[in-house]
Structure 1
Amino acid sequence: MDVLIINLILALPTFFLVRLILEKINPTWSRLRNPFLWLTTFFATPVIYVALIFTWISIETYYPERNFDKVAWTENAEKRFEYADDLVDNHKLIGLTKTEIKELLGEPYNENGNLMTYYLGFSKRQFIGIDPDWLEIRFEHHKAIDTRIYTS
């Protein structure tokens, strides 16, 4: 029911906009009895509705991806997700030892055998992010061989 109401509300400015455009092209086209005016409004309104939804989702899920900054990483644990993509995508941790990674990133949230996990905060990677993101670093022969970001 909400979608119908929203579309009806959107139809009104769409109708007047289409009518204004038709008046500019040909003044006789803007008459209320013109079926082209009504059909254009009828088909354009849902397209505008969907475009608004996609725009809203794009705005809500956007977050800046920053180059890794050690100071910013240590100062604000809730914003670490902004720097984590740089670490993973550019393989900046691959080949480092656990000690080197601890010097760079600080103490991990969890360290278990060949895995180290760092808390990244609640990112907007997902539309409704109710779970935090984590950076997982996997080691083999005391060197980092793989990194990944996951949501728990």
Structure 2
Amino acid sequence: MKISKNIKYGVSFLVILVVGTYISNRLSEQTFESDRWKNWTETESEMSLRWDMMNSLRKNHELKGMTKTEIAELLGMPDSERKSSFTYNLGFSRRGINMGYLDINFNESGIVTDYKVMDT
């Protein structure tokens, strides 16, 4: 009898954990707004703002094929720039104390070839 009760509690806990994580991730998604992205400062109240905007950014803007100038107009100047890539700090990734980064890679003509979101 004890084992079946423990199994019920364990299964209930897992269901609540999965549903809670799903709801939390959906609620944290923000609509991408270029001006808010560009003017973001990492404050306690908005420490994950850019991270939360990433899904909306990916859904509504085809980054591949854009030029460096178009990316800078959309996202502002990067936090880190190399000849063939821009990196943007996304703030806390909502996975513990991990930070998120958007790394955008360009070909020799300055056209986006790919990008990745990193959680470090």
Give the TM interval when normalised to the shorter protein. 0.7 to 0.9
How many pairs are equivalent? Answer: 113
Which secondary structure state, in structure 2, belongs to the residue aligned with residue 103 of structure 1? helix
SS of residue matched to 2:101: strand
Structure with the bigger percentage of strand: 2
Larger % of helix: which? 1
**Which residue is equivalent to 1:98?**
68
Larger radius of gyration: 1
Of all paired residues, the percent bearing the same amino acid is 29
Range moving further from structure 2, 59-68 or 134-143: 59-68
- Partner residue, 1:19: none
The root-mean-square deviation of aligned C-alpha atoms, in Å, is 2.8
TM-score, length of structure 2 as denominator length:
0.72
Unaligned runs of 5+ residues in structure 2 are 42-46
CA positional deviation for 1:113: 1.3
CA 1:104–1:49 in 2, change beyond 3 Å: closer, same or farther?
closer
Relative to structure 1, the CA distance from residue 55 to residue 112 in structure 2 (aligned partners, 3 Å threshold; closer, same or farther) is same
Structure 1 residue runs of 5 or longer lacking an equivalent are 1-34
Question: 1:143 aligns to what?
Answer: 111
Instruction: Name the CA distance, whole Å, in 2 between partners of 1:138 and 1:69.
Output: 22
Q: TM-score, normalised by structure 1?
A: 0.59
